[in-house]
Amino acid sequence: MFIKSLQIGFAGVFLAVASAWAGPSSIQGIVKDAQGKPIKSANVRIESRDGKQVLNTVKTDAQGRYIAQGLQPGVYRVSLVVNGAVKTAIGNTKTKADQATELNFDLKPATAGQATTTQPKKGTHKVWVPAGTGTHMGGRWVEVPDGAAEPGALNVKRATGEDLQRQMRSMGNPNTGN
């Protein structure tokens, strides 16, 4: 049993050392504008997967080429910045050790088939409706379309105490039949 544990331990150490020796990776590609011409001096930002941390920024050359070297193998978000504005971002760009990942940017306008002419989706939001008086059920969240007056406005009748007393008098007393 002890020998088996030693074998597993050595295999684990070997894998850890092998992954530590793995060389850095890189991301490279070409950036082109809507006419297919290379974009010079555009910034390509290599960011953390969530986009909160910029790890590297490189500029494109006269032919629109860029290369970001010395990256650890992993998953990155790559953003293209032209004239100070982010034109596009590609998330989940995976790099492997000792390999270059090819990532090209073609800023072509959307074709008629790609353009969407649908109406924007109507939004909804959730509203907390407290428990009704005299009920043993707790409050609940209700999904309401944006712009609606109140949740369940069609099902709920609001009344004051005087309105309720007036309604009780008009109904009569069920015990006496009046």
pLDDT tens-digit readout, 80-121: 988 888 888 888 888 888 888 898 988 877 555 555 555 555
135-153 average pLDDT score = 67
Q: Which SS3 state, helix, strand or coil, does residue 13 take? A: helix
Q: Which pLDDT does position 93 carry in this prediction?
A: 86
Check pLDDT > 50 for residue 161.
yes
By the 8 A CB rule, do 107 and 100 touch?
Answer: no
3-state helix, strand, coil in the chain (%, to 5): 15, 35, 45
Position 119 scores a pLDDT of 53
Q: Is the pLDDT of residue 153 over 50?
A: no
Look at residue 65 in the predicted model and tell me its pLDDT.
93
Q: What is the pLDDT of residue 67?
A: 92
CA atoms within 13 A on the CB side of 8: 5
Between β-strands 25-32 and 100-102, what pairing exists: parallel, antiparallel or unpaired?
A: parallel
Residues 60-74: what's their mean pLDDT? Answer: 91
pTM of this prediction?
0.51
Tokens coding 5 = 């544990």
- CA-nearest of 90, 89, 93 to 76 is 93
Domains of the chain (ranges plus CATH)? 24-106 (2.60.40.10)
